Structure 1
Amino acid sequence: MPLAIYDLDETLINADCSLLWLQFLIDLGLTDPVIMDDARELDRLYHQGQLDMHDYLALQLRPHLGQTLTEATREMDRFINEYVQPRIRPSAVESIRRHKARGDRCLVISASIDFLVEPIAAHLGIDDAIGVRIELEKERITGRADGPICYQEGKVLHLNRWLEQQGENTEGSWFYSDSQNDLPLLEQVDNPVGVSPDPRLAEVCKQRGWAIVNWECVK
């Protein structure tokens, strides 16, 4: 079955779900607003392809240290409805619909935390999702990753593991992404697509004859 693989942040939504989540926690009074200054600096490094994801993960999980997953995600439905839904790109929804109508299997793969990625993917009607797995000790969040981080070459590693587990392959597959950080995975599929791509990815797409689409418009 052909796969339609999607990056999440700045691809399916016109935002970074991790930054949206931090703003949500700030708005609820659940974390100190100063955390956003650090997050924006790390986000800048991400867009330059220079981010240490362990640092970013530690920052993202700082408000949740010592919590259970249930405690950390108790307001998830509200977050998705109020903060994520308005940022979903209509063209992304149409792409998902089109691939499903063709019988393709859809998958979201993201460098964001799995407890954000999975429910957002489900909200978009996608059952399969891969995000950064977080470490738990005695069911409590430690602030560290559980295994390799799903970022850059790590996305290829996690996709290959998933393919083996699911008995799937990348024949005829598509991957949609906005970011230069996803070049390793874009190179693995038959149909790489730059979605409103960053400057470096746009240049690579033009050099290699990869498709470019503009999904900027939101409702």
Structure 2
Amino acid sequence: MGLAIFDLDNTLLAGDSDYLWGQFLVEQGAVNSEDYERTNQAFYRQYQEGTLNIYEFLAFQLALLEQHSLRQLENWRSQYLEEKIRPIILPQAQELLASHRSQGHRLLIITATNRFITGPIAEILGVDDLIATEPEIRGGRYTGQVSGVPSYREGKVTRLKAWLKEQALTLGTSWFYSDSHNDIPLLEQVTHPIAVDPDEMLNAHARTNGWTVISLREKTS
């Protein structure tokens, strides 16, 4: 059985769910709009440049989870999914997922974005297995802290290896689809690394190493 692994943001989605969650919170008046938007944009630029300190970003992003009840957060999330996420699910991404399913491959989404945001997105996409950054919960409330290793850059490799051990699986026949140079450490682990609408750094790396480069955004005739 093959294992097909997918990044989420800007791979299966035509946008970044982390960044869009921040935009949504600004629109809802849940945060100070000017300060939050400026900081959110700065972290997103750092991510694109490969200079992001994931723990600094998570301290910023997960703080809001601590400040509100789970009921309020879930109400916001439901609205966010309808307004921000469903419109950016790529039809060709859904077709790609369906193609791997039809071949009997196990599907896994691995993302740096936290599980509170991405758990329901994986459900919408029909993918049961998800590795995401885990926000800590105590006494039924989020603490604003991260639990365990964030699934970012080399952390994705660490988390995937732990998951494979738990599932008694290997990367014998495996695919990983990603848009970002931040995922090169994991792309190098699989038998079929595939760059999807890649950023400039990943595009150059993929072509130098003979990796497959595809688009899930270009219209097909």
Same fold (TM over 0.5): yes
Deviation at 1:133, TM superposition (A): 0.5
Contact 1:117–1:130 (8 Å) recurs in 2: no
Q: Alignment partner of 2:136: what SS?
A: strand
Q: 1:149-200: CA deviations, max 9, x gaps?
A: 1100100111111111112211111000000100110001000000010111
Match of 1:158 in 2: 159
Query: 1:189 maps to which residue?
Result: 190
Task: Provide Cα deviations, 1:7-44, integer angstroms capped at 9, x if missing partner.
Answer: 01111111110111122222222222121110110110
Residues 194/165 of structure 1: CA separation in 2 closer, same or farther (3 Å cut): same
Q: In the superposition, relative to structure 1, how do residues 131 and 61 fare at CA in structure 2: closer, same or farther (>3 Å)?
A: same
The aligned amino acid for 1:14 is A
Aligned partner of residue 176 in structure 1, secondary structure: strand
Distance 2:66 2:116 in 1: 14
Does the 8 A contact of 2:113 with 2:132 survive in 1?
yes
Deviation at 1:77, TM superposition (A): 2.8
When normalised by structure 1's length, the TM-score is 0.94
Greater helix content: 2
Partner of 1:100: 101
Structure 1 position 138, deviation (Å): 3.1
Shift of 1:215: 1.8
Q: 1:184 to 1:217 in 2, by over 3 A?
A: same
Secondary structure at the aligned position of 2:45 is classed as helix
Matches within 5 A, 1:134-173: 134-173=135-174
The separation in 1 between residues aligned to 2:156 and 2:167, in whole angstroms, is 16
Once the 2 structures are TM-superposed, how far is the Cα of residue 214 of structure 1 from its aligned partner? Answer: 1.3
Quick one: structure 1 residues 70 and 109, their matched pair in 2 at CA, closer, same or farther if it must change by over 3 Å?
farther
Determine if contact 2:64/2:144 at 8 Å carries over to the other structure: no
Which residue of structure 1 aligns with residue 202 of structure 2? 201
Contact in 2 for aligned 1:196/1:213 (Cα 8 Å): yes
The gaps in structure 2 that reach 5 residues or longer are none
Question: Is 1:5 aligned with 2:5?
Answer: yes
One-letter code aligned to 2:187: L
- Superposed CA RMSD in Å reads 1.5
Q: Aligned-pair distance for 1:90?
A: 1.5
Matches within 5 A, 1:1-219: 1-34=1-34, 35-217=36-218
Answer whether contact 1:4 1:174 (CA < 8 A) is retained: yes
Unaligned 5+ runs, structure 1 = none
CA drift at 1:70? 4.3
Cα distance in 2 between the residues matched to 1:80 and 1:136: 22
Shift of the 71–165 alpha-carbon distance from structure 1 to 2, 3 Å rule, reads farther
Given that residues 112 and 132 in structure 2 are in contact (C-alpha distance below 8 angstroms), is that contact kept between their aligned partners in structure 1? yes
Superposed displacement of residue 69, structure 1 = 4.0
Q: TM-score, normalised by structure 2?
A: 0.93
**Is this contact kept in 2: 1:90–1:217, CA < 8 A?**
no
